[in-house]
Amino acid sequence: MNKMMRTSGRRVLWAILLAAIMLAAMAPTAASAADNPLKITVRQIFSAASSSAADTFTYRLRALESGNPMPAGSSGGSYTFAISGNDSVHIGSFGHDRQGVYRYELAQLVETEKTGYVYDKRIYTIEAHVDHNLDVHTVVFGGDGLKVAALEFVNSHRLTASDPSLMIDPQVKKTVSGSPNKDSAFTFKLVARSPSQPMPAGSFGGEKSIRILGSGTGEFGTWSYEQAGTYVYTVHEQDGGQKGYTYDKRVYTITDAVSEEDGRLLLSRVVTNDAGGRVTTMSFVNKYAAGSSSGPKDGSKDGSGKDGPKDGPKTGDESKSAMYIALIAAGAALSLCAVYFLILSRRRREDEEGEGEEG
């Protein structure tokens, strides 16, 4: 009896020992599944033209096969998360309890594209290869099917430039008073407060010049802005020093206030005169007076900056005066000749009469 009990006890001990060995053999596998879960890191890069731009974007990890393990917080085989600014997100660890290949898809969620934003629309495929030890090896493919080293999304924000067609382009109005013999050309300059400011086509170094012949109008043209801020320009007439003209010294100021609204740059323009009054036209009046002593600033005779010939042909009043002087001189010469011949004729008659009396 005791012998049978001892034999039965040994069998129980062997059974317990065998069970312990089997549990010990299974323990490393369970530890492997816990120690090597699938880990996913997603990086976002964001650049913006405005500090007020929204920098948070939403992403979704989706299982491509039903029953694939998913991180905590998932719903219906889908896990949604957000990243702000330039940052990375580590999706919570989730383990796989059996060998196989598990596929997932990662993409950015954009329900409505906002003005000024550029979204990264790449779709990544993630393959989790789980071996017999439940170790996980991850392979990531880009949208072109090629392997990539990281899960990365690049988003940006840029402001929509102001519309040049909506810019008010004030006219430069030129008026000439007096009665010049011919129309002269006058030069007007648009000058930016800073050479780096936007300017119309044809500008150089923050300046642009236009010319108006006689009385008339002209425009400098329009341009667009790509950054918010306040931009200031001035408009004045360049004194060409043409003889007989008194130039208008007025200076007009153009102030452009550029603001951001819903990703767009909007322009508000104000044009003022010397007194600070608002105007819609930049008017200049030059006075012409014949015989005026005013001359060109550069010392040239015609305002061109080049010296003319020292003895050039006379024009206008100077030519008329010279003609009158020549006529007077010619008349005086003829009168002297006439007097000389009269005197000479009289002396001859007197000589002839004297010879007749002697005979």
pLDDT digits 0-9 by tens, 145-155: 899 999 999 99
| CATH level 2 (architecture), domain 36-157 | Sandwich (2.60)
Distance CA 288, CA 38 (A): 89
Residue-wise pLDDT tens digits, 92-121:
777 788 899 999 999 999 999 988 899 999
This prediction has a pTM of 0.56
Closest of 81, 23, 37, 30 to residue 56, by C-alpha: 81
Lookup result for tokens 């080293």: 149
9-38 pLDDT per residue, tens: 667 666 666 666 665 555 444 444 445 678
Do 164-288 and 36-157 fall under one CATH topology?
yes
Give φ, ψ of 345 to 5 degrees.
-65, -40
What mean pLDDT is reported for the chain?
A: 83
**Parallel/antiparallel/unpaired status of strands 229-238 and 216-218:** unpaired
Residue range 217-237, pLDDT digits in tens: 999 999 999 999 999 999 999
Write down the pLDDT at residue 302: 42
Which residue in 298, 312, 307, 192 sits closest to 253, CA to CA?
192
Which of 337 and 273 is assigned the larger pLDDT?
273
Confidence of residue 52 (pLDDT cuts 50, 70, 90): confident
For the domain made up of 164-288, give the CATH fold: Immunoglobulin-like (2.60.40)
Question: How do residues 279-294 score in pLDDT, each as one tens digit?
Answer: 999 999 999 998 654 4
**Percent of the chain at pLDDT exceeding 90:** 59
**How much is the pLDDT for 29?**
42
Domain ranges of the chain: 36-157, 164-288
What share of the chain in percent tops pLDDT 70? 71
